[in-house]
């Protein structure tokens, strides 16, 4: 039986690294990034993190890009980037709502333009499970990765 084409193949374009939604980073993820950058956690938070309510977000630069995105190079903290980043485009909204999936497909050149929603969901759930990204999360994790109620 012929394998379906991948619904997503990252182009390292950075489209997902910009915008006002923000990247939630748990305290554990912040510590990993701080260690990678050889920084103290508090110093890292002062420079790179913004708190909104009970969540911590990686800051954007003045142009709306993640402060860790480097044009032509990609993510400066790629080996330790937050789960939210590793999960794109397989976010909760894109897996539950076909119109969100269609918007993501228009936005992200890595999503196969011919991808069918059901196949995208199937591949996305499999990817999240294989990567350990779709399980129950800490309280300070973002909602984009909460997939326990998705079929």
The answer to whether residue 3 sits within a structural domain is no
User: pTM of this prediction?
Assistant: 0.84
Full domain range(s) for residue 31: 15-145
User: Is the model's pLDDT at 151 over the cut of 90?
Assistant: no
The answer to whether residue 38 sits within a structural domain is yes
Residue 50 pLDDT class (50, 70, 90 cuts):
very high
The answer to whether residue 9 sits within a structural domain is no
Q: What is the pLDDT of residues 79-118, one digit of tens each?
A: 999 999 999 999 889 999 999 999 999 999 999 999 999 9
The answer to whether residue 5 sits within a structural domain is no
pLDDT of residue 12: 86
Domains: count for the chain:
1
pLDDT of residue 139: 63
d(CA 5, CA 116): 10
The answer to whether residue 27 sits within a structural domain is yes
Within 8 A by CB and 6+ apart from 125, the residues are: 90, 95, 134, 147, 150
């Amino acid at each position: 039986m012929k394998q379906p084409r991948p619904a997503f193949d990252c182009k390292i374009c950075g489209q997902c690294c910009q915008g006002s939604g923000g990247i939630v980073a748990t305290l554990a993820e912040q510590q990993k990034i701080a260690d990678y950058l050889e920084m103290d956690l508090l110093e890292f938070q002062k420079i790179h993190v913004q708190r909104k309510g009970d969540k911590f977000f990686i800051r954007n630069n003045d142009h709306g890009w993640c402060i860790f995105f480097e044009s032509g190079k990609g993510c400066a903290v790629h080996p330790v980037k937050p789960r939210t980043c590793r999960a794109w485009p397989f976010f909760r909204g894109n897996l539950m709502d076909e119109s969100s999936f269609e918007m993501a497909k228009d936005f992200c050149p890595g999503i196969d333009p011919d991808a069918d929603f059901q196949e995208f969901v199937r591949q996305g759930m499999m990817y999240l499970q294989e990567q350990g990204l779709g399980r129950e999360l800490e309280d300070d994790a973002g909602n984009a990765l909460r997939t326990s109620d998705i079929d």
